Chain A
Amino acid sequence: MLTLSLILIPLFAGVVSLITKNNSAKQLALIGAVVELVIAIVVYTQFQPTASHQFGFSYPWIKSAGIAFAGGIDGISLLLVMLTAFLTPLIILSTFRQPYKNASTFYALILFMQSALMGVFTATDAFLFYLFFEAALIPVYFLAAVWGGENRIKVTFKFFVYTIFGSLFMLVALVYLYYQTTSPQGHTSEISAFYKLALDAQKQGWIFWAFFIAFAIKMPVFPFHTWQPDTYTESPTPATMLLAGIMLKMGVYGVIRFILPILPLGLQSWGTTAIVLSVIGIVYGSIIAIQQRDMKRLIAYSSFAHVGLMSAGVFSQTLSGVQGALIQMLAHGINVVGLFFIVEIIFSRTKTRNIEQLGGITQRTPNLTVYFMILMLGSVALPLTNGFVGEFLLLRGVYESNVWMGAIAGTTIILGAVYMLRLFQKSMFGNKSSFTEHFADLSFSERAVLLPLTIMVFWMGLYPNSFLKLTEPAVSNLLQMIHY
């Protein structure tokens, strides 16, 4: 029941927001998101760290095709559910100073998005997963395409067609797997039934690619990333936060849920290729990030590099790799949402995102400087911040599976420091420019967003075990299926 309410509450709040007046929609949306967070916390406190799915629900839906409306939460789901529930209220709060036209629709779309994301992370039926996977795309597409920047129409269209294209391949793979299952009632689309299939290596290879393209476009992994920087840059910041903070994790989650346990033989033949592509993405994304002047674009490329490391870690099929990816998903979501918010704060005051035109902000803004510094260092993966734990585990995982790839992926530590410190230095330090002369420090609502984020940066950095222990049983259970 708890899981179901996680999906339904944002949906309901979204519908209510849609029919309320524009000026009260944001408060209402915030209330909805906070209620959702409370429920997520209840789930967190009642969760037993075992490998099984908990708080499950299952209703027959399309009986003739064996599709059930079924969901549940295991450790892997829990982490992402928490992330979604934690970030959405902050994303809504971050828009409080910025008036959006047609606000009721705007907030309704954010809440619909949250509902679909919750569905993706909790579905235990493969087709239900697919439906939510697609359904999550539509609200964020409209958010980006209606409220976005100048080139929004072209850019978001590319994003939409690209991702739909990828997920159609996944649909084919799911339908294929569905027909391979046998149960007393005919075929079934429970994900756990897919785990029991033992297909031959060639078939697994095909299905691997069908899944891989879908998830690689979503994450994105090199060379499927071309939609990403433009979309992140052109979208309104709340949509960018949703995309980078949460939606990107759908891809990684999909790999963990589907590719790892179902296709061990496919991984044997193609896993290394996937790692190589991911590692190329790390280096490539970092080098481009170093060249960027637009702050939003820079963070977009850094996000591309970071997700490359997560993907490499997952495909390494090691405990530390997968665990690292999970904790890094959480950390990256928190950091990237914070960073995009800071970009938005700077942009709303100076009307520019070009770091060449900024500078000298620190002198008047002690609060902003501290928050920015903490989030930036978290993103650079300084020890005692959240980024460190994940990156360490990920690199160890990749290293265990392939020494060379581990070494190349390791350059992310240096390159990441280069682009993030450059961003910080150019925008915050130095001499004031005409743009930054009258820069006001953070308002109350802005601090209310950044404070929880920075608390999480330290909490995860200091006590990573409080998160790792949640996922460990589920992950090792998953990995046993591969190395049987």
Chain B
Amino acid sequence: MLPIVLLSILGLVVLFLGFQKSKNLLLPATLLVLVVVLVANFLNWNDAPSLYFKSMLFENKLTMSFSGIVLLSALLIVALTRGFIDDESAQPAEYYAIMLFSVVGAIMMIGFENLIMLFLGVEILSVSMYVLTGSDKKNLRSNEAALKYFLMGAFATGIMLFGMALLYGATGSFNVTALKAYVLTNPTPSVMLYAGLLMLLIGMLFKVSAAPFHFWTPDVYDGAPTIFTAFMSTIVKTAGFAAIYRLLSGSFSGIYSFWWVTMAAITVLTLLAGNVTAVYQQSFKRMMAYSSISHAGYLLLSLTALTSQSQSAIVFYSLAYSLATISAFGVLMVLAKETGVRSHETAESFEAFNGLGKKNPLLAFVLTVSMLSLAGIPLTAGFWGKFFVFSSVVERGITWLLIVAVFMSAIGVYYYFRAIIAAYMREGELGAIKVPTFYRLVLIATTIITLFLGLFPDLLRGLV
């Protein structure tokens, strides 16, 4: 559990670096911390699964992979912050420190062995997110988003905690393994267990913005500064799905017949709500918000099926999705900075991409690969993500669910391609775009990894 310790201590160090006059050290320091933690995360890769902190946290290859995805996403996103939080009113030290602390929460959510740890992780991550969402203090929409997120999130956490209490009432333990043993030894558990599980799931599904608990998502994603939107849509989602997967497969696989119908219904709703609404969006950022809902749907698909394949499918999908999302938001941030000077309305709409293919072929290519990957077109990582998810559903044999998902994927192609069309086929008035070298490196890295995983998915899939 080195990552948690390191992140907490080094996060504090970063916070204190903020007392210095020069703010130039902050970004390299934060990046360094994340690189160190990323390496530390994989130090115990070959060890047997083990428990830490008096059986409160668990660590095996699965949790290390999920933590790895979270840390990598954080690293890439932090690298993209250069030049975007350096205006006067911002407090970069606090932001960097909060980002690091929120990753602690994410890793706790991934590795919980005790429901209390899950709760703590969710809270650490959520509270950080509330703050970051409202970090654009002078912007009304950012404030609104933060307040909305906070109020809704507080409700969801309350329900989740209630669910945990009920589970404790039914089984007498918060321990994941004890819950599993209880479910296996009591073929007909009490209603309290069922109610507890459902409430816990509702709380978690809220965090990953599954329908019908998704209504906060578009406003919050839209209102938050883009960099934190990227943070939310990758890290919160990955950690959330890791937690749900560990709950359902670890503790409650014994009562699959109870929860799969609920999960299937939520999956269908999420897929519909995400994809159909995304079609009507004029703002690229809002579209990405709905797209994140729809991707939650595909991940839920694999959870609903819960076969031997689901585990690697979810890991692969999370990574593919995170990389593509970071690329997309990265390109948007560069362009919004350029176009935002001229007109604020178009800064984050599809029109911001008009004529990008001519002005900056590199950015246009990065955007294209990321959209193709999100749409699940072959030879990108996103395709294999979808492929493995669909495979797990076929293996379980829930055909009708698959048909819905296939229809929704086709709709997805529609809205992702609007960005590509804007970039290559529409004329725009973009001026010269300056892309900082550092920035370019991050975008090239995400694009290359996306394509590389599209060609050789086995490299990752063999691991977990």
A residues 135-182 in Cβ contact with B at 8 Å: 135, 138, 142, 145-146, 152-153, 157, 160-161, 164-165, 168-169, 171-172, 175-176, 178-179
Q: Is A61's CB within 8 Å of the partner chain B?
A: yes
- Residue pairs across A and B with CB atoms within 8 Å: the count is 72
Query: Hey, which chain A residues are within 8 Å of B413, CB to CB?
Result: 160-161, 164-165
Q: Name the residue of chain B whose CB is nearest to the CB of A130.
A: B378
Most buried by B among A130, A160, A164, A178: A164
Write the A39-68 contact mask toward B (1 if CB under 8 angstroms, else 0).
000000000000000000000011111000
Alpha-carbon separation in the docked complex, A135 to B377 (Å): 8
A residues 167-206 in Cβ contact with B at 8 Å: 168-169, 171-172, 175-176, 178-179, 206
Q: Is B457's CB within 8 Å of the partner chain A?
A: yes
**Would you give the shortest CB distance from B61 to chain A, in whole angstroms?**
15
Whether the pair A152, B417 counts as a contact (CB closer than 8 A) is: no
Q: Is B174's CB within 8 Å of the partner chain A?
A: no
Query: Hey, which chain A residues are within 8 Å of B388, CB to CB?
Result: 65
Alpha-carbon separation in the docked complex, A448 to B403 (Å): 49
B residues 383-411 in Cβ contact with A at 8 Å: 387-388, 390-391, 394-395, 399, 402-403, 406-407, 409-410
Alpha-carbon separation in the docked complex, A135 to B421 (Å): 18
Most buried by A among B372, B410, B456: B410
Query: Hey, which chain A residues are within 8 Å of B426, CB to CB?
Result: 153
**Would you give the shortest CB distance from A94 to chain B, in whole angstroms?**
24
Alpha-carbon separation in the docked complex, A171 to B378 (Å): 11
**Would you give the shortest CB distance from A150 to chain B, in whole angstroms?**
12
Query: Hey, which chain B residues are within 8 Å of A138, CB to CB?
Result: 372, 377
Whether the pair B417, A176 counts as a contact (CB closer than 8 A) is: no
Query: Hey, which chain A residues are within 8 Å of B462, CB to CB?
Result: 63-64
**Would you give the shortest CB distance from A459 to chain B, in whole angstroms?**
37
Write the A3-32 contact mask toward B (1 if CB under 8 angstroms, else 0).
000000000000000000000000000000
The one of B377, B399, B403, B458 in contact with A134, judged by C-beta atoms closer than 8 angstroms, is B377
Most buried by A among B379, B425, B457: B425
Alpha-carbon separation in the docked complex, A130 to B413 (Å): 17
Query: Hey, which chain B residues are within 8 Å of A164, CB to CB?
Result: 377, 410, 413
Alpha-carbon separation in the docked complex, A179 to B410 (Å): 23
Q: Name the residue of chain B whose CB is nearest to the CB of A62.
A: B458
Alpha-carbon separation in the docked complex, A138 to B372 (Å): 10
Q: Name the residue of chain A whose CB is nearest to the CB of B408.
A: A168
Whether the pair A179, B395 counts as a contact (CB closer than 8 A) is: yes
Query: Hey, which chain B residues are within 8 Å of A142, CB to CB?
Result: 424
Q: Is B461's CB within 8 Å of the partner chain A?
A: yes
Q: Name the residue of chain A whose CB is nearest to the CB of B462.
A: A64
Whether the pair B425, A171 counts as a contact (CB closer than 8 A) is: no
**Would you give the shortest CB distance from B93 to chain A, in whole angstroms?**
44
**Would you give the shortest CB distance from A1 to chain B, in whole angstroms?**
21
Whether the pair B410, A157 counts as a contact (CB closer than 8 A) is: no
Q: Is A370's CB within 8 Å of the partner chain B?
A: no
Query: Hey, which chain B residues are within 8 Å of A65, CB to CB?
Result: 388, 391, 458, 461
Query: Hey, which chain A residues are within 8 Å of B424, CB to CB?
Result: 142, 145-146
Alpha-carbon separation in the docked complex, A378 to B378 (Å): 38
Interface of A is mostly: helix
Q: Is A131's CB within 8 Å of the partner chain B?
A: yes
Alpha-carbon separation in the docked complex, A302 to B286 (Å): 44
Query: Hey, which chain B residues are within 8 Å of A168, CB to CB?
Result: 406, 409-410
Alpha-carbon separation in the docked complex, A65 to B460 (Å): 13
Q: Name the residue of chain B whose CB is nearest to the CB of A148.
A: B425
Most buried by A among B390, B402, B421, B457: B421
Q: Is B414's CB within 8 Å of the partner chain A?
A: yes
Whether the pair B410, A161 counts as a contact (CB closer than 8 A) is: yes
Interface of B is mostly: helix
Whether the pair B425, A152 counts as a contact (CB closer than 8 A) is: yes
Whether the pair A175, B421 counts as a contact (CB closer than 8 A) is: no
Write the B280-294 contact mask toward A (1 if CB under 8 angstroms, else 0).
000000000000000
Most buried by B among A152, A153, A172: A172
Alpha-carbon separation in the docked complex, A134 to B456 (Å): 17
Query: Hey, which chain A residues are within 8 Å of B377, CB to CB?
Result: 134, 138, 164
Alpha-carbon separation in the docked complex, A61 to B458 (Å): 8
**Would you give the shortest CB distance from A322 to chain B, in whole angstroms?**
29
Q: Name the residue of chain B whose CB is nearest to the CB of A138.
A: B377
Q: Name the residue of chain A whose CB is nearest to the CB of B426.
A: A153
Q: Name the residue of chain B whose CB is nearest to the CB of A147.
A: B425
Whether the pair B390, A171 counts as a contact (CB closer than 8 A) is: yes
Alpha-carbon separation in the docked complex, A131 to B403 (Å): 20
Query: Hey, which chain B residues are within 8 Å of A206, CB to CB?
Result: 399
Query: Hey, which chain B residues are within 8 Å of A169, CB to CB?
Result: 406
Alpha-carbon separation in the docked complex, A206 to B403 (Å): 12
The one of A63, A130, A160, A175 in contact with B417, judged by C-beta atoms closer than 8 angstroms, is A160
Alpha-carbon separation in the docked complex, A64 to B379 (Å): 17
Query: Hey, which chain B residues are within 8 Å of A64, CB to CB?
Result: 312, 458, 461-462
Alpha-carbon separation in the docked complex, A161 to B421 (Å): 13
Say whether, besides A145-B425, A160-B417, A176-B394, A171 and B458 are in contact (CB < 8 Å): no
Alpha-carbon separation in the docked complex, A135 to B379 (Å): 8
Query: Hey, which chain B residues are within 8 Å of A165, CB to CB?
Result: 407, 410, 413
Alpha-carbon separation in the docked complex, A152 to B426 (Å): 11
**Would you give the shortest CB distance from B447 to chain A, in whole angstroms?**
16
Write the B22-45 contact mask toward A (1 if CB under 8 angstroms, else 0).
000000000000000000000000
Query: Hey, which chain A residues are within 8 Å of B399, CB to CB?
Result: 206
Alpha-carbon separation in the docked complex, A160 to B371 (Å): 14
Query: Hey, which chain B residues are within 8 Å of A161, CB to CB?
Result: 410, 413-414, 417
Q: Name the residue of chain B whose CB is nearest to the CB of A64.
A: B461
Whether the pair A131, B402 counts as a contact (CB closer than 8 A) is: no
Query: Hey, which chain B residues are within 8 Å of A175, CB to CB?
Result: 387, 390-391, 394
Alpha-carbon separation in the docked complex, A462 to B33 (Å): 76
Alpha-carbon separation in the docked complex, A462 to B409 (Å): 48
Alpha-carbon separation in the docked complex, A65 to B383 (Å): 14
Q: Name the residue of chain B whose CB is nearest to the CB of A153.
A: B425
Whether the pair A131, B406 counts as a contact (CB closer than 8 A) is: no
Q: Name the residue of chain A whose CB is nearest to the CB of B457.
A: A62
The one of B372, B394, B417, B458 in contact with A157, judged by C-beta atoms closer than 8 angstroms, is B417
A residues 435-458 in Cβ contact with B at 8 Å: none
Alpha-carbon separation in the docked complex, A463 to B313 (Å): 54
Whether the pair B414, A62 counts as a contact (CB closer than 8 A) is: no
**Would you give the shortest CB distance from B354 to chain A, in whole angstroms?**
12
Query: Hey, which chain A residues are within 8 Å of B372, CB to CB?
Result: 138
Query: Hey, which chain B residues are within 8 Å of A171, CB to CB?
Result: 387, 390, 406
Alpha-carbon separation in the docked complex, A313 to B101 (Å): 66
**Would you give the shortest CB distance from A451 to chain B, in whole angstroms?**
36
Whether the pair A172, B421 counts as a contact (CB closer than 8 A) is: no
Q: Name the residue of chain B whose CB is nearest to the CB of A141.
A: B417
Whether the pair A63, B379 counts as a contact (CB closer than 8 A) is: no
The one of B390, B414, B421, B456 in contact with A153, judged by C-beta atoms closer than 8 angstroms, is B421
**Would you give the shortest CB distance from A18 to chain B, in whole angstroms?**
11
Alpha-carbon separation in the docked complex, A61 to B456 (Å): 7
Whether the pair B390, A131 counts as a contact (CB closer than 8 A) is: no
Say whether, besides A130-B378, A168-B409, A168-B410, A157 and B421 are in contact (CB < 8 Å): yes
Whether the pair B414, A135 counts as a contact (CB closer than 8 A) is: no
Whether the pair B425, A172 counts as a contact (CB closer than 8 A) is: no
Most buried by A among B377, B378, B409: B378
**Would you give the shortest CB distance from A130 to chain B, in whole angstroms?**
7
Alpha-carbon separation in the docked complex, A176 to B402 (Å): 11
17 pairs, A vs B, C-beta closer than 8 Å = A61-B456, A63-B458, A64-B461, A65-B388, A134-B377, A138-B377, A146-B424, A153-B421, A153-B426, A157-B421, A161-B414, A164-B377, A165-B413, A168-B406, A168-B409, A172-B390, A179-B395
Known: A142-B424, A146-B425, A179-B395. 4 other contacts (CB 8 A): A64-B458, A64-B462, A65-B458, A165-B413
What is A's interface to B at a CB cutoff of 8 Å?
61-65, 130-131, 134-135, 138, 142, 145-146, 152-153, 157, 160-161, 164-165, 168-169, 171-172, 175-176, 178-179, 206
What 10 A-B pairs are tightest by C-beta distance, nearest first?
A165-B410, A134-B378, A62-B458, A131-B378, A168-B406, A175-B394, A164-B413, A153-B425, A161-B414, A64-B461
